[in-house]
Structure 1
Amino acid sequence: MIRALAVALALAGTANAAPCRQALVLGLDVSGSVDAREYRLQLDGVASALGNPNVRDALLATRPAVVSVLIYEWSGPDDQRVLVPWTDISGSATIDEVIDQLASTARRDASPGTALGAAMAAGAQHLSQRPDCAKRTLDISGDGKSNLGPRPRDVKNNMAGMGITVNALVVTLDRPRPVEGSDAGNEDLAAYFKAEVITGADAFAETARGYADYEAAMVRKLLRELAGLSVAQLTADQR
């Protein structure tokens, strides 16, 4: 009831625009441990997940209250790039536009480091631009432990009280990587993300068994994140 009331009040406070049900930021790992094939599997996996019929229905379930999405990629401490700026998902055509943006994105040169803490801070900064949204969620995808920049745990602690949930999509790989300092493939990687990264209400870590499994894992994660109260339920709780 308390959560429903908070969401309802936030929705009611946006009189001049479509009310924002949820701000959702996706941060994609493009560090040196991600090769060209895996980069494409990751972007295409996000695009296909957004086009999944069940995910599409979940994104549109509470119109006119919208889900607003931003997608960025990250590697080194000062190396983040926005691929899809803040976009209110107002209909199927908007989802298709986001999918097209991802499909047309080409990889650029990026520093090879894995600055996971800096990526989390960048995601929090993006979410600070949407204080109007009833729920704010940051997703971090990664296939290795942080090796540059601020420690994820310190960034996580600094985010306490900001009203942000940080979830993770952890990519574990069966084959070793010839990248110095990479922890990709380690079975303890999911435990690392759970201990050092995820935080906030109902935070969780989803696991993909290699980038070929990325799309399926992203579908599972999005459906779990987007599950929530309907507009009808919110209205009923206000009575």
Structure 2
Amino acid sequence: MLRLTFVSLLSVFPVMSQACDTALILTIDVSNSIDMAEYRLQTDGLADALRDAEIIETMVAGENYLAVVQWSGVDKQTISIPWTQMRTALDVEAFAQKARLMERAFVLSDTAPAEAIYFSLGLFDQVTGCNRNVIDVSGDGTPNGGSDVRAARNAAERAGVTINGIAIESMGLAITNFFRGAVITRDGFVMTARTHREYPQTIRAKILREISRIFG
């Protein structure tokens, strides 16, 4: 009589490990409405978030990929930190340090989020094997340049890419409502930061929500 133990079954049918849970592009608005102090609040906030113990643990467990894109006007998008896989806590710490030291890419430029989305969509060809592809868009204004944001959002949905957002508000909820109606995908979400000084705590909560697969 053939007896198959759990160990012998594993030798016949090896468990396939998932190489990557989430590929996440963090995009930072550096358009004309962002002054240097506000830029530093964004980069320092991102760096501090990535040094959070819970984020480090979750990043490494999912072997997630991260990249950072800076964007502003129609022809103003650049990869500030290329795709990096978070296999160890040291990988996350090194990425955080790069984010903190990152130089601003553009100044005195318009706000064209559609082009930022299209640019980011093209980067997912460089990573494969991830369960989810996510674009994280932050911004403090509505478009004053570029193509239709809803069309870019729809292109992301067709590609199976999720777009989430951080709306940085000076008053009211105008940016949040714009993100909700035109930027985020149907499976995405938007979080609100009341002024740039709330950005650091908001980006931490947002990243943790994205990589922990907690939605609602």
Q: TM-score, normalised by structure 1?
A: 0.79
1:186, CA displacement in angstroms?
4.8
Identity %, equivalent residues? 29
Q: Deviations over 1:153-212 (max 9, x none)?
A: 111122232111000011001xxxxxxxxxxx45221011000000043x1001111111
1:105 matched to 2:102 = yes
Residue in 2 that maps onto 1:45: 45
Tell me, in whole angstroms, the C-alpha distance in 2 between the residues paired with 1:109 and 1:163: 29
Q: 2:23 is matched by which residue type in structure 1?
A: A
Contact 2:111 2:143 in 1 (8 A): yes
Please say if residues 72 and 106 of structure 2, whose CA atoms lie closer than 8 Å, have aligned partners that are also in contact.
Answer: no
Q: How far apart, CA to CA, are the structure 1 residues paired with 2:122 and 2:108?
A: 21
Aligned residue type for 1:139: D
Where in structure 1 do 4 or more consecutive aligned residues deviate above 4 Å? none
Report if aligned partners of 2:30, 2:105 keep a CA contact under 8 Å in 1.
Answer: no
Question: Aligned residue for 2:26?
Answer: 26
1:58 maps to a residue whose letter is: T
Using the alignment, how far apart are the partners of 1:108 and 1:166 within structure 2?
22
- Cα gap change, 1:57 to 1:49, in 2 (>3 Å): same
Deviates more, 1:126-135 or 1:90-99: 126-135
2:177 alignment counterpart: 191
| The 10-residue stretch of structure 1 (143-152 or 186-195) with the greater mean CA deviation from structure 2 | 186-195
Task: Indicate the structure (1 or 2) with the bigger Cα radius of gyration.
Answer: 2
TM-score (norm 2): 0.87
Pairing of 1:112-123 with structure 2 (within 5 A): 112-123=109-120
Q: 1:225 aligns with which of 201, 210, 216?
A: 210
* Aligned AA (1:43): T
Q: What RMSD in Å do the two structures reach over aligned CA positions?
A: 1.9
In structure 2, the partner of 1:165 is 162
Matched-pair contact (CA < 8 Å) for 1:164–1:200: no
Confirm or deny: 8 A CA contact 1:142 1:171 kept in the other structure: yes
State how 1:196-211 maps to structure 2 within 5 Å: 196-201=182-187, 203-211=188-196
Task: Give the corresponding residue for 1:155.
Answer: 152
Query: What amino acid is the match of 1:135?
Result: R
Distance 1:227 1:61 in 2: 10
Unaligned runs of 5+ in 1: 1-10, 174-184, 230-239
Q: List aligned pairs for 1:42-121, cutoff 5 A.
A: 42-62=42-62, 66-121=63-118
Residue in 2 that maps onto 1:133 = 130
Task: Report the count of equivalent residues.
Answer: 200
For residues 125 and 54 of structure 1, do their structure 2 counterparts lie closer, same or farther at Cα, with a shift above 3 Å needed?
same
Deviation at 1:24, TM superposition (A): 0.5
How far apart in 2 are the matches of 1:144 and 1:222? 21
**Whole-angstrom distance in 2 between the partners of 1:124 and 1:41:** 26
Q: Note the residue ranges of structure 2 that are not aligned, 5 or more in a row.
A: 1-14
SS in 2 for 1:199: coil
How many angstroms apart in 1 are the aligned matches of 2:105 and 2:202?
Answer: 25
Distance 1:206 1:127 in 2: 24
| Residues 168 and 197 in structure 1, CA contact (< 8 A), matched pair in contact too | yes
